[in-house]
Amino acid sequence: MNRRKKLNQILRANAKKASAKLAPKNKDTYVSKADRLKLAEASADATTESTPEAASRSEAV
């Protein structure tokens, strides 16, 4: 009985691992700190490019 129970336990564990691999991933992919800084810098550059136009308009007025 113990041998059968142990075998079933191992097979059940392997089946659980296999189904977990096939399950959809809900977790976002990891983005390193350096990449986050680059993205933040790029978005800051994009916003500063659009703001000088607004600044020049206010100076002209």
**Separation in Å, CA 1 to CA 5, 15, 39, 47:** 6, 21, 59, 69
pLDDT of residue 9: 98
**pLDDT higher at 40 or 58:** 40
- Residue-wise pLDDT for 14-44, tens only, equals 999 999 999 888 888 899 999 999 999 999 8
Model confidence, pTM: 0.42
Domain assignments of the chain as residue spans, ordered by start: 30-61
**pLDDT higher at 12 or 58:** 12
Please give the torsion angle defined by the CA atoms of residues 24, 27, 32 and 35, in that order, rounded to the nearest 10 degrees.
80
